[in-house]
Structure 1
Amino acid sequence: MPSNDADDSRVASIIVCNTVVLALASIGACGRVTAQIYMGRFDPDDGIRVCAMLYSHVEYVDALVKLVSDILAVTRYGYGRHFELIQDDTETVATFLKLNFVTAIAYLISLTTIKISFCLLYLKVFSVTHLRCVYYLLIGFVICEFIEELFVFIFQCSPVNKYFYPATIPGVCRDLYVFYYVSFAIKLVTDIVLFLLPIPQLLKLHAPIGVKTGLIVMFGLGLL
């Protein structure tokens, strides 16, 4: 049974981990965008990549004046602490669930835009007709998957407001346990497809094996 001690909190760890990861991702994305603008080659995939980065930094608006990053706001209202410490405060739980709701939607948007940006990048790099068709189909599939997941998540409770006040508002919330596993499997498959598709073309390059390996590793970083 977990301790309810106030010191037994993961708030600091969550903030540190998210700050480090977001900072590294932002530096990489900003470096890419800056280089593209400098060379006068800011393409659609770069624009979508910027959108993905912005959604990764989704912010919670407090009274439309004070902006707090989503992870800081969520930790203020219970994230990283034992639920027993906040469950008796209905408004705190509701605020936590609202922030979690927004963050989950931002996550779906971010993940979708990242995959689309990869597809657009590959469309720009590779000219093989059948490969380009696959990337267009993948873009369509990813968009359809996003719409499906978005609607399922938003309307998992009837009425929707019951998601924020599960104990006080009458209604029903569906169990998405199986849905999340299926969704994860689909995302994993699309990630693997994105990684594997360019490899045959990269292997055909007239370049040293070290260069080919480096390119495959670079493209494979997208799996992360």
Structure 2
Amino acid sequence: MASSTITPASLPPAGQTSNFVDPPYIGGKFVAVNCIFLPLAVIALGVRTWTRLFVVRSFRWDDYLMIIALLLSCVLTGVTLEMLNWGLGKHMWDVPLADFMAQFPKLNLIAAIIYCAATGFTKVSVLVFYLRIFPSRNFHIAVWTIVFIAAGYSIASILANIFSCNPIAKSWDLTITTGSCMNRPVFYFANAGLGIFTDFATVAVPIPWLRRLQMPARQKVAVGVILAMGCFVGIVSCIRLGSLYTLLKSTDLTWATTDALMWCTIELNLGIFGGCVTAIRPFVRRYFPRLLGLSSGGGYTSSQSRSRKHGHPLGSIPHSDRVNFTNQDNQYTTTLTTLRGAPDNGSEEHILASHPSGHAKDADGTTGIIRTVEFDVENSSTAPQRE
């Protein structure tokens, strides 16, 4: 219902009137999206943090970067939900001008800055994680190139938002009539294009090296799911680009911005979720090992043969002072030793150190149980014939 005492933020189109009582409203779906995707990102980062602190016991730079990204995502959610109180989700002609001018432009600018920073931290975190997986020098060069692009355009986007108008206050103070501003929707459009490029580049860069890895089928499926998640984030970015195109052509700022911010929220939180999935494999390996095709015991096991051949301590050269069970002069022995009970870590290797107690210690000092399998290596050409 229109009121002669309230000035709308913009004039209604022909054939419509302002409604300040019960106007059309799409803010409900925006709230629902935030209630779904932000908790998803929080849970994923919680599992990742648990994995790093209590399973792997190694907290790295990529973990800190992802925590910053999630904190920024939480702030973004708070800012955008506050925008609902100042016109977001309604048509401009259904929003009182006093409400719109009071906070909406300022909160919209803050949301844009936070989004650019959060996506930058998310992408750099994933790329830094890649650096610890593949030791190849060429791979590191490729990753650092993408890091430079992602971080560079994120910083540039933050600065462009801050200094988009001259004077700067013109960005949120609509009473300033002098000066000039950049075309913000066009800038958002270009920014989204760079974001899509880095999304798909982040997915594509490890593929040539992943093909060289030898891993069980279930692990290959898990890696495929991770890459698919990255592709899905890129697809969401493309959808967001479409919403920005609508914003570019629309003068109904409070209505068109709703979908654009909604897809920003989905993209950012899915990016955090996907970035955390790549780092929680040790968590799955310890608590849900069957998902990776591992035994439930968390270590290497072997069935004991009912009839064992004779064995003796490790030796890589002949030892004349040991019992020769096969009566041959060119007998060699070796010992396979594995560590049981050691904590999982991000690597597939355990570096064992000697310990006076006769047990072994892994790299973080935890004592495990040594299981030794001994066998003989004989020269078949000289071995005696057995009946």
- The TM tier, using the shorter chain, reads 0.7 to 0.9
Unaligned 5+ segments in structure 1 are 60-67
Does 1:125 find its partner at 2:142?
A: no
- In the TM superposition, what are the counterparts of 1:1-224 in structure 2 within 5 Å? 4-5=18-19, 6-39=22-55, 40-58=57-75, 69-89=78-98, 92-223=100-231, 224=233
Once the two structures are TM-superposed, the CA of residue 160 in structure 1 deviates from its matched residue by 1.3
What amino acid does structure 2 have at the position aligned with 1:106? I
Deviations 1:95-126 (A, max 9, x none): 01111111111101100000100111100111
| Counterpart-to-counterpart distance in 1, 2:192 and 2:81 | 26
Q: 1:167 to 1:85 in 2, by over 3 A?
A: farther
Once the two structures are TM-superposed, the CA of residue 147 in structure 1 deviates from its matched residue by 2.0
- Contact 1:22-1:56 within 8 A present in 2 as well: yes
Once the two structures are TM-superposed, the CA of residue 139 in structure 1 deviates from its matched residue by 1.5
What amino acid does structure 2 have at the position aligned with 1:81? K
Deviations 1:163-211 (A, max 9, x none): 1123544221121343333222221111111101111222212234553
- Contact 2:23-2:90 within 8 A present in 1 as well: no
Partner of 2:240: none
| Counterpart-to-counterpart distance in 2, 1:29 and 1:93 | 37
| Counterpart-to-counterpart distance in 2, 1:146 and 1:168 | 28
Structure 1 runs, 4 residues or longer, greater than 4 Å off: 1-5
- How many residues end up aligned between the 2 structures? 215
TM norm structure 2: 0.52
Q: 1:57 aligns to what SS in structure 2?
A: helix
What amino acid does structure 2 have at the position aligned with 1:83? M
Unaligned 5+ segments in structure 2 are 1-12, 234-387
| Counterpart-to-counterpart distance in 1, 2:225 and 2:34 | 25
- Contact 1:86-1:93 within 8 A present in 2 as well: no
| Counterpart-to-counterpart distance in 2, 1:80 and 1:115 | 29
What amino acid does structure 1 have at the position aligned with 2:44? G
Structure with bigger helix share is 1
Higher Rg: 2
Q: 1:58 aligns to what SS in structure 2?
A: helix
| Percent identity between the two aligned chains | 24
What amino acid does structure 2 have at the position aligned with 1:143? A
Which deviates further from its counterpart, 105-114 or 10-19? 10-19
Q: 1:26 to 1:114 in 2, by over 3 A?
A: same
- Contact 1:74-1:100 within 8 A present in 2 as well: yes
TM norm structure 1: 0.87
Aligned residues: CA RMSD: 2.1
